[in-house]
Structure 1
Amino acid sequence: MARPIRGMVQSPTERSRDFKGSAIRLLKRLTPQRGMTAAVILLGVGGIVLGVIGPRILGHATDLLFNGVIGRELPAGLTKEEAIAAARTRGDNAFADLLSGMNVVPGRGVDFGAVGRTLLLALGLYLLAALMVWLQARLLNVVVQRTMVALRSDVEDKLHRLPLSYFDTRQRGEVLSRVTNDVDNVATSLSMTISQLLTSLLTVVAVLAMMLTISPLLTLLAVVTVPLSLYVTREIARRSQRLFVAQWANTGRMTAHIEETYSGFTLVKTFGHRAQAEETFRQRNDDVYHASRGAQFFSGLVGPATTFIGNLSYVAVAVVGGIQVATGQITLGSIQAFIQYVRQFNQPLTQVAGMYNTLQSGIASAERVFDLLDAEEESPDPARAFPTARESGERPGGVRVEFDHVDFAYRPGTPVIEDLSLVAEPGSTVAIVGPTGAGKTTLVNLLMRFYDVDSGRILIDGVDIATVSRESLRSRIGMVLQDTWLFGGTICDNIAYGRPDADEDEVIEAARAAYVDRFVHTLPDGYDTRVSDDGGNISAGEKQLITIARAFLARPQLLILDEATSSVDTRTELLVQHAMVELRRDRTSFIIAHRLSTIRDADQILVMEDGRIVERGSHAELLARHGEYWAMAQA
Structure 2
Amino acid sequence: MSTPPPAAGRPPKNVWELTAGAHRSMLLGGLAAFIGSALKIVPYIGLVEIARGLWSGAPRAHLWGWVVASAAAMVVHGVAYTGAVGANHRTEAALRYELRLRLVDKLKHVPLGWFNDRSSGVVRKAITSDTSSIHSLVTHLSGDLANTLGVVVVGFGYLLWLDARLAGALIAGWLLLLALCMLPSLRAMGRSFEDYSAAERELAAVTVEMVDGIKEVKNFGMTATVFGRFDAARRRHADVSMEWMNSSGIGVAIVGAAMQPATILALTTGIGYWFVRMGWTQPLTVLAFALVWVGIPEGLMALVQIFQQVYAAAEAARSTLDVLSAEELPEPAAPAVYTADRSLIELEHVSFSYEPGTPVIKDVSLTCRPGTVTALVGPSGGGKSTLAKLIARFWDVDSGRIKIGGVDVRDQTNQQLMSSMSLVFQEIMTATDTVAQNIALGRPDATRDEIVEAARAAHIHERIMTLPDGYDTMLGEGAGFLSGGEAQRLTIARAFLAAPPILILDEATAQADAHSELEIQRAITALARGRTVVMIAHRLSTIRSADQIAVVDGGRVAEVGTHDQLLAAGGQYAELWAAQNQTMTGARHA
TM-score band, normalised by shorter chain: 0.7 to 0.9
Runs of 5+ consecutive residues of structure 2 not aligned to the other structure: 1-11, 582-590
Q: Give yes or no for the alignment of 1:243 onto 2:192.
A: yes
Query: 1:454-479 deviations in whole A, cap 9, x for unaligned?
Result: 21121223212222233321221112
Quick one: distance in 2 between partners of 1:24 and 1:131? 36
Query: 1:241-293 deviations in whole A, cap 9, x for unaligned?
Result: 11111112111112222222222323443455545555544432332222222
Q: CA deviation at 1:581?
A: 4.5
Amino acid in the other structure paired with 1:341: V
TM-score, length basis structure 2: 0.85
Q: Provide the secondary structure at the position in 1 that maps to 2:401.
A: strand
Moved more, 567-576 or 584-593: 567-576
Quick one: distance in 1 between partners of 2:231 and 2:511? 35
What does residue range 111-510 of structure 1 map to in structure 2 within 5 Å? 115=63, 118-188=66-136, 191-225=139-173, 227-229=175-177, 231-232=179-180, 233-270=182-219, 274=223, 277-306=226-255, 317-319=268-270, 321-322=272-273, 332-375=283-326, 377-386=327-336, 399-510=343-454
Quick one: distance in 2 between partners of 1:39 and 1:168? 43
- 1:16 aligns with none
Amino acid in the other structure paired with 2:79: L
Query: 1:214-264 deviations in whole A, cap 9, x for unaligned?
Result: 222322223223542453332321122111111121111122222222223
Query: 1:164-217 deviations in whole A, cap 9, x for unaligned?
Result: 444333444344444444433443465444433222222222112222332223
Change (3 A) 1:61 1:53: same
- 1:544 aligns with 488
Q: Give yes or no for the alignment of 1:46 onto 2:43.
A: no
Change (3 A) 1:595 1:303: closer
Change (3 A) 1:381 1:208: same
Report if aligned partners of 1:408, 1:418 keep a CA contact under 8 Å in 2.
Answer: yes
Quick one: distance in 2 between partners of 1:277 and 1:432? 31
Q: CA deviation at 1:528?
A: 0.8
Report if aligned partners of 2:439, 2:494 keep a CA contact under 8 Å in 1.
Answer: yes
Quick one: distance in 2 between partners of 1:572 and 1:282? 34
Q: CA deviation at 1:296?
A: 1.9
Moved more, 403-412 or 349-358: 349-358
Amino acid in the other structure paired with 2:465: H
Q: Give yes or no for the alignment of 1:589 onto 2:578.
A: no
Q: CA RMSD in A?
A: 3.3
Amino acid in the other structure paired with 2:189: S
Amino acid in the other structure paired with 2:233: R
Report if aligned partners of 2:551, 2:573 keep a CA contact under 8 Å in 1.
Answer: yes
Quick one: distance in 2 between partners of 1:630 and 1:524? 49
Amino acid in the other structure paired with 2:245: Q
Q: Which has the higher contact order (CA 8 A, sep 6+)?
A: 1
Query: 1:294-324 deviations in whole A, cap 9, x for unaligned?
Result: 2222322343444577689866653464467
Report if aligned partners of 2:29, 2:142 keep a CA contact under 8 Å in 1.
Answer: no
Change (3 A) 1:500 1:142: same
TM-score, length basis structure 1: 0.79
Q: Provide the secondary structure at the position in 2 that maps to 1:531.
A: coil
Report if aligned partners of 2:30, 2:145 keep a CA contact under 8 Å in 1.
Answer: no
Identity %: 32
Structure index of larger Rg: 1
Q: Provide the secondary structure at the position in 2 that maps to 1:422.
A: strand
Change (3 A) 1:42 1:468: same
Amino acid in the other structure paired with 2:397: V
- Quick one: which of 34, 46, 62 aligns to 1:57? 46
Amino acid in the other structure paired with 2:363: D
Quick one: distance in 2 between partners of 1:514 and 1:280? 37
Report if aligned partners of 1:401, 1:458 keep a CA contact under 8 Å in 2.
Answer: yes
Query: 1:587-630 deviations in whole A, cap 9, x for unaligned?
Result: 22222223445323322222333222233223333344444334
Quick one: distance in 2 between partners of 1:575 and 1:617? 27
Moved more, 521-530 or 462-471: 462-471
Report if aligned partners of 2:342, 2:406 keep a CA contact under 8 Å in 1.
Answer: no
Q: CA deviation at 1:426?
A: 2.3
Quick one: distance in 1 between partners of 2:504 and 2:13? 48
What does residue range 494-533 of structure 1 map to in structure 2 within 5 Å? 494-533=438-477
Report if aligned partners of 2:26, 2:138 keep a CA contact under 8 Å in 1.
Answer: no
Q: Provide the secondary structure at the position in 1 that maps to 2:442.
A: coil
Quick one: distance in 2 between partners of 1:63 and 1:186? 47
Amino acid in the other structure paired with 2:362: E
Quick one: distance in 2 between partners of 1:24 and 1:612? 40
